[in-house]
Structure 1
Amino acid sequence: MTTLFDRFERAFMPNYGVPPVALARGEGTRVWDVDGAEYLDFIGGIAVTSLGHAHPALVEAVSTQVATLAHTSNLFLHEPEVKLAERLLALLEQPGKVFLANSGTEANEAALKLAIKYGKTTGRSYFVAAEMGFHGRTLGSLSLTGKPSIRDQFGPFATDVRFVPYGDADALAKAVDENCAAVFLEPTQGEAGVVPPPDGYFAAAREIATRTGALLVADEIQSAIGRTGHWFAHQADGVVPDLLTLAKGLGGGLPIGAVVGFGAAGTIFAKGDHGSTFGGNPISCAAALAVLDNVDLEHVRAVAERLRTGLEGIAHPLLNGVRGRGLWLAAVLTEDRAAQVQTAAQQAGFLVNAVQPDAIRLAPPLVVTPAEIDTFLAAFPAILTEAHHG
C-alpha cells in the first residue's frame, strides 16, 4: 500500500529526508497523526505555535481576514500591517521603524542588507557573528551562520564574516573594531542547543558595539514573543540593540518575519532599497495581532518554572541537566543519544526535538497547562531509560 510517507519521498527533494510522523490535525497542545495516534506537542513547530493548534482567536482572525482582504502586495498599505508595526513598537517601548517579511531568514537578510548599507556609508567592511550561531539558510543569512556543517559547502560568501566563541566577551572585543559594520548575535543560541550566554554578555556586546560604532543585531527569531517569559529576550538583559529580527512565534503558525530598526538604524533604508511581495500580508498580520493579544506572560513564566524545576528534579544517568530560558529549554544528556530520546518520546506520545546529539529541545506552545507539564515530567524518566538502553 502506498503511504503518505512514500508519496512524500517521491515528490519532494531529499533535504529533509522523510519525517517520522505525518500529522493530520491539532488542538491546543495536542496533535494527531494520520493513523489517529495522539501526541503532546512539546516542540511547537520549532517555537512557532505560540497559541497552540487551532486556537479560537487565531482561527477567527485568519478566517475574518482572508474573507476580507487576503493580499495587497507592497504597492498598497492596509490597516493590519500598520496596527502590527505599532503594536510591536509599543511592546518594545523604544522609538523605531519596522520592515515586515515572511520568515526568519528573510528578516535576517533584511538586517544584513541594512548593515551592509550602513557599512558602505561609514567605511566599514566586515561583520562578526558567533560560532554555532544560526541565522538562516539563504545565502546572506547562511554567511552569518557559524555552523560549518551547513555553511561550508555553500561558500565562499560575498560578505566577510568573522566568528568568535559565543559568550566570550573578551573574544568579541578583540574581533570588533572601527572597521566592523555589525555584530549579529542570538540572545540565546537556538540551533546550537538552546545555549544562553553568561550573565552580562549582551550588555558587554552593547558596550563594544557602541564604543566601536558597529551595529548590534539581536536575532530573536526563536526567543521573542513571550518564549522566554518576556516579550523580547533582550529586555531581560536591559539592552537595546540597533536591529532586532523576529519571526517564528510572531505568526503563531502563519508565515511572517520582521526587522525593527531602533533610532537611526530605522532609517538606513531609502525608498526602493528593499521589498517583499508577500511581506506584511494581511492574513499573517492578523494572525500576529491575535498572538500578541493572547500571549499571557505570567502564565508562561509560571509553567516555565514548573517545567524547569521538574526537569532539575529528575535523577537519571542519561540526564545531565537543563538549560535555557522560559518555555525554551534543553534537556542536556550525558551521552549523544538525543535521537533515541526523540524516538522514545514519540513512541510514548510526546513530540520533542533532538536539536543536538546531546540535547533535547523543549518549546511547547505558550498555552501549555500545568497538568500537561506534569504529564510530560511523569513520563520523561521512562523515556530516558528507553533511550539509554534501547
Structure 2
Amino acid sequence: MTDVVVIGAGQAGASLVARLRAKGHDGRITLIGAEPVPPYQRPPLSKAYLLGEMEEERLYLRPASFYAEQDIALVTGQPVTAIDRAARRVQTAGGAVSYDHLALCTGAVPRRLPAAIGGDLDGVFTVRSLADVDAMAPRFTAGARVLIVGGGYIGLEAAAVAAKRGLHVTLIEMADRILARVAAPETADYFRALHAAHGVTIREATGLARLTGETAVTGAELSDGSRLDVDFVIAGIGIAPDTALARAAGLEIDNGIATDAYGRTSDAHVWAAGDCASFPAPQGRMRLESVGNAIDMAEAVADNMLGAGLPYHAKPWFWSDQYDVKLQIAGLGTGHDRVVIRDDGKGARSHWYFGGGRLLALDAMNDPRAYMVGKRLIEAGLSPEPATVANPDTDLKVLMTTMMRG
C-alpha cells in the first residue's frame, strides 16, 4: 500500500499513526519529531510534572516499544527542514524521506515576549515543551518571586503550581479581566477568587512595559508605572499554529494550515490535523487547541487517508486543573447571551452558556455529572430550560434521559 510520513510527534501525530495501523494500513509509516523523546502528553507538564508528581516516562503516550511493535518508524530529534511536494519527500538532518501521503501534525508554538522589552533575558520562560518545563523547574523554590504574564488557562495553571510550591506569585493580564477570550465573566470571577484565596496577586488591565536586568531578568516595569522585583518570568500569552513548513511549501494558510472537511490540504497528497490545522465548521473556519481535537481530528484524517470519506465534525471539549479544582469545558460559548449558574452549595458548580435559548457550552468546576450531561446535550443539539438547569434540585441525569427520549 502507500507510504505515509507524519511530521510532528505530538498527540495528533501519535494518534494518527496508531489509527492507521489499527485500521489495517500495511504500508510504511514514518513519524518524525523534532524533540528527542517519544510522543508525550502536554497538559501534565504545567501541573503534575512541574509539581514533581509525575515521572517523565509516565508522560509518554505509549511505551517506546509500541512503535517498533507496530512497525512504525519513529524518528526523534530530527526536525523536518523542507517539504518537496513535487518529488513527494521531506528533508531532515538525517536525510530525505519519501511519501505517497504526508500528514502535518506540527502543532503550535508559544508566543514569546519580544526581545525589545527583555523577552530574551535569562530567566524568561514559556510553557509548551518538556524542555521548557525542565528548564524552569529548578526555579520553583519556596520564597522565589515569579511574574506570570497572561491570564489564560496556561498562565493560571502555572500560577497554581507556583503558589502550591510556596512562591510569591504575581499574574498580570492586559485585558480587563482574566480568561477574557475563552470564558464568561462568571467563570473568571470564580477563578480570580480561587487564586486570591491561595495568595496569588492578580492585576488585570495591566500590561508589561519591559523586563529589566543585565543578562538575567531581575525586575519588571508594568504599564501602570509600577515596578516589581522578580526572580523569573513565565509568559503565558498564547500559542500560534506552527505553519512554517506548510507556508514554505506553498500550502494554503488560513488561521492555520487550511484543510477541507476531510482533513486534506490544498495539496491532494498532504493532510493536516491538530492544533496546526483549520477546518470548515458551521460557525466558519475553525481551529481548536485541545487534546480532544488533536485525537479526534487525527483519527478522522487517518480514516480518510484509508478512504472512509467522512467529514470531520468537531466536538469541542477542554479541561484545566488548578489547586483542587478540576474544570471541564464542553462546547464553545462564542455568541452566548446568557450564563446560568448551577451551584449545589457543596463545591460542585457549573456555568451554562445559552445563546438565543440554545445551549452552547458549559464550564463545570468539580462537577463531572454536570459536564457529562451538558456535553451529551450539546452534542445532541438539545437545550434544557435555563431555570431547570439552575435549580440545584433538578436531577441532571433524569433531565438528560427525558430529553434524549424526546
Which structure exhibits the higher relative contact order, with contacts defined as CA atoms closer than 8 Å and separated by 6 or more residues?
Answer: 1
Settle same-fold status: TM greater than 0.5: no
Larger Rg: 2
**More helix as a share of residues:** 1
